Amino acid sequence: MIEWELFLQGPLFAVFLGNALIAVGGAVVGTFAVLRREGMLADVLAHAVVPGIGFAYLLSAQKELPVLALGAFLTALAAAGAVEVLRRMARLSEDSRLGVVLAASFGLGIVLLTLLQSRQEADQVGLWRFLFGQAAAVRVEDLPLIVAVTALSLLFVAIAFKELVAMAFDAEFLRTLPLPLQWVEVGYRVAVVAITVVGVQSVGALLIVGLFVLPPMAARLWVRRVPGMLVGSIAVALGAVVVGLGLSWNLPYVATGPVIVTAAAGMVLLSHLFAPHHGVLARVWGYGMRWLRRWDEHAHKLLYYGIERSGGECWEGPILRPEYRGGRAGAVLVLVWLWLRGSIRWEGRRRWRVTRLGHKRACQIVRRHRLWELYLERFFGVPADRVHLEAELVEHVLSPEIEERLQELLQRPEHDPHGRPIPPRQNG
Amino acid sequence: MNAVECHDVTVLYGRRVALWGITASIPAGRLTAVVGPNGAGKSTFLKALVALVPLQRGSVHVFGMLPKQARSVVSYMPQRESVDWDFPLTVLDVVLMGRYGRLGLFRRPTPQDYGRAWEALRTVGMEAYAHRHLSELSGGQQQRVFLARALAQDAQLYLMDEPFAGVDAATEELLLQSLKELRAQGKTVVVVHHDLHVVASFFEWIILLNLRLVAAGWVAEVLTDRYLREAYGGRAEILSEVVQRVAHAREALRHKGR
């Protein structure tokens, strides 16, 4: 208990709270950056923070966070303005516009910092930490600014949520409505810049874009709507902070900020692997299940040929066709599969009995196959010797509804183009 | 009375001309088609009517007001391809956006707004899809969602950019039906369209564009060989066939009318 109290009051708690708030703010605002496909813009703004810090120190000779943050805030806003001006004035593509502003502002920032370093001030003041970040150096005194910025950003998102979502989805439509949306736009930009500015000291100008885009990217794969995406990306961001701080407390020489961002990137990777519907595993699973279904249907088709060969109602006798090409091992595999599926019963002495269920399944797949053959021949004039291969592909995707429509269209036929019977549908 | 008056409307994208000196009007309470070849500025023309693009020269008046003042009575439907249909939203979320203009900034939709959104969904036959995710929709269903959002706006002037592009036959039928109903309610509808056959048989007023105005007027006066040749240029073989079909369609329509 004593340790817990110490933690709450001590510098470690400040580090945890500061980083967690920055990550949450980045995740929430970043959700809209990702939805608007503006991740690169957040990166440009982060780089434009660096010259602001240089200017602020040069002019004020103070190293307090609020002073440096003000300078950073102003240059980042100027960079956002510059991107907008270039959009209207110059004929550049979006990536070139962003590249120009990023390179120019970051270059200027490094020039200023090296200038200060030549006066041997930057090292003392610790200005370089804004480049690479020093998550473990968040102090109790910094907390009020971080809390205020994050709280205001979250409040803004809560108020303007419906507009922010709609603008990200269809900005053109929204602009035709009688609404003063420029205020929402300004508020959003200010929130992005403000979180960048307070976050830069922790994660660094080079990496903070990771806090904006990675948690929403991971969350998006798991959810269907934007509120879920917000909750998901907050969870991912907090998870990354816990992993990052935990690792760096145990490995003292590892920088915390990069570990946080790497952890978030890892969660994007994990989401791509494990997410439902979109994840790699889900897709492999779906593919595997389709393959298995095809295999199952082919096995039942072989069963039907066995029934057909042994004659009408008789469900006994050797099941596989003598001309089956899968070899002896393949034939055994098919028999075992059909047995596992409950389609056939072992009666001893090389005799199998087809169950009712097995008969129904076997009839269904052959019925679909032959209906499709007939459909192709009748309505598209495909020659009878060509329809088999086409039907091999289509038989697996025909649904009961389509099957019924085919039956009606073909007036419940009794024979396929090869003159073989089409097994009717049994009730019960 | 005219719903829209354009005078010398000129729009540039950078140095490229998108529209040049368009002077035309659109009568209120009629179905109007905006027709022209690819890149003729059809979409730009619609955007000029809602002030989505800045005018280099000229003026637009909608119901006697400037476009920005007329926004509460205008509904604009962008091209279906202009948005990301993999966006994490449901169908109902999108249709509700049609109410945002009336709601005002930061207000939550009221039960009345939900009611209007459901009604619009019923009109386009998408009620069963209300809670589906956007990525599960076919092209025709996407277009129906956009139509429902426009209907939920309850506007006086409807501007629709290529609503018939790439939709199935059932959706096309439904779109035409909805346009008829809007017309019956006295609304003005302006549709960018490229199927001249449908234009001839269905719309009343036509604006024929090819960067500049080729012709504007009643369909019967504008859809002539001369104007079409002027708008579409060299592709005359296809054109004369189309014109013949148009003439037949008009003939058929006249007989039906009697």
Higher pLDDT residue, B24 or A279?
B24
Which pLDDT score, from 0 to 100, does residue B257 have?
Answer: 46
**Percent of chain A at pLDDT exceeding 70:** 91
Contact between chains at B105 and A229 (C-beta distance less than 8 A): no
Tell me which chain B residue has its CA closest to the CA of residue A183: B105
Cβ contact B179:B189 at 8 Å: yes
Q: Which of B13, B60, B77, B83 to mutate to test the interface with A (most CBs of A within 10 A)?
A: B83
- B-chain CB neighbours of A177 within 8 Å are 71, 100-101
DSSP state of B98: G
- For residue A224, pLDDT beyond 80: yes
- For residue B239, pLDDT beyond 60: no
- A-chain CB neighbours of B72 within 8 Å are 178
Which pLDDT score, from 0 to 100, does residue A201 have?
Answer: 83
* pLDDT tens per residue, range B168-220: 999 999 999 999 999 999 999 999 987 777 888 889 999 999 888 988 999 88
Least Cα separation, residue B180 to chain A (angstroms): 23
- Kindly state whether A228 is in contact with chain B, defined as any CB-CB distance less than 8 angstroms: yes
Least Cα separation, residue B218 to chain A (angstroms): 28
* pLDDT tens per residue, range B88-101: 999 999 999 999 99
- Kindly state whether B72 is in contact with chain A, defined as any CB-CB distance less than 8 angstroms: yes
Which residues are bridge partners to B12 per DSSP?
A: B17
Name the CA dihedral angle for A222, A225, A227, A230, rounded to a multiple of 10 degrees.
40
What is the rounded distance in angstroms from the CA atom of residue B250 to the CA atom of residue B258?
Answer: 13
Provide the b/e sequence for A59-76 (b: ≥16 CB within 10 Å). Answer: eeeeeebebbbbbbbbbb
Least confident stretch, A74-83, A102-111, A230-239, B240-249: B240-249
- Kindly state whether A35 is in contact with chain B, defined as any CB-CB distance less than 8 angstroms: yes
Cβ contact B155:B120 at 8 Å: no
* pLDDT tens per residue, range A75-113: 999 998 999 899 887 778 888 999 999 999 999 999 998
Please name the amino acid found at residue B98. G
Q: Which of A157, A176, A222 to mutate to test the interface with B (most CBs of B within 10 A)?
A: A176
- Kindly state whether A162 is in contact with chain B, defined as any CB-CB distance less than 8 angstroms: yes
Name the CA dihedral angle for B127, B129, B134, B135, rounded to a multiple of 10 degrees.
-150
* pLDDT tens per residue, range A149-176: 999 999 999 999 999 999 999 999 999 9
ipTM exceeding 0.90? no
What is the rounded distance in angstroms from the CA atom of residue B53 to the CA atom of residue B61?
Answer: 15
Which pLDDT score, from 0 to 100, does residue B198 have?
Answer: 81
Mean local confidence (pLDDT), A190-196: 92
What is the rounded distance in angstroms from the CA atom of residue A13 to the CA atom of residue A19?
Answer: 10
Residue A306 phi/psi, 5-degree rounding, is -60, -45
Q: Which of A159, A172, A184 sits opposite B78 (nearest CB)?
A: A172
In chain B, which residue ranges form alpha helices assigned H by DSSP?
Answer: 42-49, 91-96, 100-103, 111-123, 139-152, 169-184, 196-202, 219-222, 225-232, 236-257
Mean local confidence (pLDDT), A254-262: 87
What is the rounded distance in angstroms from the CA atom of residue A146 to the CA atom of residue A400?
Answer: 60
- Kindly state whether B82 is in contact with chain A, defined as any CB-CB distance less than 8 angstroms: yes
Tell me which chain A residue has its CA closest to the CA of residue B105: A179
Q: Using 50, 70 and 90 to split pLDDT, how confident is the model at A181?
A: very high
- The helix (run of H) or strand (run of E) holding residue B188 is strand B188-192
- The helix (run of H) or strand (run of E) holding residue A415 is none
DSSP state of A348: S
Which pLDDT score, from 0 to 100, does residue B254 have?
Answer: 59
Q: How many helices (H) and strands (E) does chain B have?
A: 10, 9
What is the rounded distance in angstroms from the CA atom of residue A43 to the CA atom of residue A28?
Answer: 16
Contact between chains at A177 and B93 (C-beta distance less than 8 A): no
Structure tokens at A258: 């990069």
- Kindly state whether B89 is in contact with chain A, defined as any CB-CB distance less than 8 angstroms: yes
Those residues with Cβ within 8 angstroms of residue B29's Cβ, 6 or more apart along the chain or in another chain: B3, B183, B186, B187, B188
Contact between chains at A177 and B101 (C-beta distance less than 8 A): yes
What is the rounded distance in angstroms from the CA atom of residue A43 to the CA atom of residue A358?
Answer: 61
- A-chain CB neighbours of B83 within 8 Å are 169-170
Tell me which chain A residue has its CA closest to the CA of residue B153: A177
Q: Which of B69, B75, B81, B93 to mutate to test the interface with A (most CBs of A within 10 A)?
A: B93
Which pLDDT score, from 0 to 100, does residue B123 have?
Answer: 93
- Kindly state whether A218 is in contact with chain B, defined as any CB-CB distance less than 8 angstroms: no
Q: Using 50, 70 and 90 to split pLDDT, how confident is the model at A1?
A: very low
- For residue B62, pLDDT beyond 90: yes
Least confident stretch, A48-57, A218-227, B233-242: B233-242
Contact between chains at B97 and A160 (C-beta distance less than 8 A): no
Q: Using 50, 70 and 90 to split pLDDT, how confident is the model at B134?
A: very high
- B-chain CB neighbours of A163 within 8 Å are 100, 105-106
Tell me which chain A residue has its CA closest to the CA of residue B81: A170
Residue in the structure block whose two tokens are 């490995």:
A251
Q: Which of B82, B96, B97, B103 to mutate to test the interface with A (most CBs of A within 10 A)?
A: B97
Which pLDDT score, from 0 to 100, does residue A195 have?
Answer: 93
Mean local confidence (pLDDT), B129-156: 94
In A349-415, which residue ranges form alpha helices assigned H by DSSP?
Answer: 356-380, 387-394, 400-409
Mean model confidence pLDDT for chain A: 86
What is the rounded distance in angstroms from the CA atom of residue A362 to the CA atom of residue A366?
Answer: 6
What is the rounded distance in angstroms from the CA atom of residue A343 to the CA atom of residue A324?
Answer: 19
- Kindly state whether A275 is in contact with chain B, defined as any CB-CB distance less than 8 angstroms: no
- Kindly state whether B132 is in contact with chain A, defined as any CB-CB distance less than 8 angstroms: no
Which residues are bridge partners to B17 per DSSP?
A: B12
Contact between chains at B88 and A160 (C-beta distance less than 8 A): no
* pLDDT tens per residue, range A302-319: 888 877 776 654 445 555
Least Cα separation, residue A31 to chain B (angstroms): 11
Cβ contact B147:B171 at 8 Å: no
Which pLDDT score, from 0 to 100, does residue A314 have?
Answer: 46
Residue B159 phi/psi, 5-degree rounding, is -115, 120
Residue A276 phi/psi, 5-degree rounding, is -70, 150
The pTM of this model reads: 0.82
Least Cα separation, residue B40 to chain A (angstroms): 20
CA A240 to chain centre: 17
- For residue A350, pLDDT beyond 80: no
What are the C-alpha distances in Å from B195 to residues B37, B167, B235? Answer: 11, 13, 15
What is the rounded distance in angstroms from the CA atom of residue A294 to the CA atom of residue A292?
Answer: 5
- For residue A47, pLDDT beyond 50: yes
CA end-to-end span of chain A: 68
What is the rounded distance in angstroms from the CA atom of residue A161 to the CA atom of residue A175?
Answer: 16
Contact between chains at B106 and A178 (C-beta distance less than 8 A): no
Which pLDDT score, from 0 to 100, does residue A313 have?
Answer: 45
Which residues are bridge partners to B208 per DSSP?
A: B35, B215
Tell me which chain B residue has its CA closest to the CA of residue A230: B88
Cβ contact B33:B218 at 8 Å: no
Contact between chains at B108 and A229 (C-beta distance less than 8 A): no
- Kindly state whether A160 is in contact with chain B, defined as any CB-CB distance less than 8 angstroms: yes
Least Cα separation, residue A84 to chain B (angstroms): 15
Tell me which chain A residue has its CA closest to the CA of residue B101: A177
Mean model confidence pLDDT for chain B: 88
Tell me which chain B residue has its CA closest to the CA of residue A227: B88
